[in-house]
Amino acid sequence: MRSGCPIVAEAELSPLASLLVVLAASPILVFIAHAIVYRALDRTGAKPTAHSSAMLALIAGFIPVGLATWRLGFFDLGQGAAAALCALVYVMAVYGALGILYLDVVNIAETSLHMHLLLELAWGGAVPLADLLDRYSADRMIAARLERLTSLGQLRVVDGRCYVANRSTLYLAGAIDAWRTVLGLPTSPPGVPAEPSALDRGRQR
Amino acid sequence: MCDAVIDGFALFLFSLAVHVIVWRVRRPESFRAWVPALAVIFGVVPAAIAWFVAPTPLDFAALLLLHGSLAVVYGIGYTLVSAFSPSVELLKLLDRAPDGVPMAALQLPFVAGGLTTERIENLAASGFVRQTGPRLDLCPRGMWLTRLVLIYRHAIGLPDSGGG
């Protein structure tokens, strides 16, 4: 409620300023939700990963942000449907972008090889280089990724054979490859032939 | 609000267009070259344009929050574009084999190469680690960064020795 006191009224934020503050602070909200969701899932024995719990936290975090936007009157159809739609697009674009940024932080803390090498040294003190190279062998790196991708539902293992279970990451990879082509960058790592994926094969058919 | 949405997306698309032109003309190869280039293309130039386009400081903030959040995500996401993710390459490998691949036969040639050695060299060059005889140790900068990441990991509840 707006105050009648002129001194306080001057200090009050306009609805737009309030919305910007809510959106800018949303990563803190997601961080708190992430801590709650991870612990709650862990207690139920659901074996959460940092990523799957972060995605649930992002969904949970949108509820208060959406409610705050609604309370600030941005979804009021009295201002016109176009204005309400613009507000929805604005909030979803900023919240979505900051959400992806949060997932990048999770990536750094959980999957980045650079960071994980530093964490190994923090956890175990000075380590012989040979031991570290052995610990980060190709086999171990593939095993860690198989576990994570299975947990995220991206692949499934049946009778010891691995299959793609969900194409969402491959669609994203296809978009990244397309963008690499636009920028003039190679689309496959050195030593790996740039074979067409099933997506490309489907398009060719 | 519609002005902020239209101007914000237009500013981001303009930055992307400049980025493509610059990369097509002369692509910065190293990390130390492309980070400042992206900072100028997605930060300095659009901020100057937004200052002239936005009628009030609050509109400027709204415009910059939309463009800025998209630009930061793109800037960090560019590492996905410039480098190759083992997870994505693993999925691509499986995608090329409709009958599946036995777990024991899964191999990624670029991971088997000097991926870890390359990362250790990067960390040493940036002053995060140092090699003392046969052992690898954290430098003060590395300690500071790991402390920060560990605070975050512990706040979430992630166990030590996990991830990777």
Choose the final residue of a domain: A110, A128, A145. A110
Render pLDDT for B93-133 as a digit per residue (tens, 0 to 9).
Answer: 888 888 888 887 777 766 655 567 777 887 888 888 888 87
DSSP A76-105: -GGG-HHHHHHHHHHHHHHHHHHHHHHHHH
* Domain finish residue from B51, B82, B113: B82
Contacts of range A80-83, beta carbons closer than 8 Å, 24 or more positions apart: A82/B2, A83/B1, A83/B2
Q: What is the pLDDT of residues B56-92, one digit of tens each?
A: 999 999 999 999 999 999 998 888 788 788 888 888 8
One domain, residues A184 and A92: no
In a domain, B8, yes or no: yes
Give the B window 90-109 contacts with A, CB below 8 Å.
90-92, 94-96, 98-104, 106-109
For tokens 């659009």, the residue is B46
Contact (CB, 8 A) for B62 and A89:
no
pLDDT for A155-173, tens place per residue? 888 888 888 888 888 998 8
Q: Are A172 and A154 in contact (CB under 8 A)?
A: no
Domains of chain A: total: 2
The reply to whether A106 and A18 lie within a common domain is: yes
The number of folded domains in chain B is: 2
Q: Rounded distance, CA B75 to CA A56, Å?
A: 24
Among residues A54, A80, A110, the one where a domain terminates is A110
For residues A176 and A101, membership in a common domain is answered with: no
β-sheet with B129-132: strand ranges across: A127-128, B135-138, B129-132
Residue A120 lies in a domain: no
Contact status, residue B74 vs residue A179, Cβ threshold 8 Å? no
Q: Is the ipTM of this complex over 0.90?
A: no
Q: Which of residues 146-175 of A touch B (CB under 8 A)?
A: 146, 148-149, 154-155, 157-158, 160-164, 169-170, 173
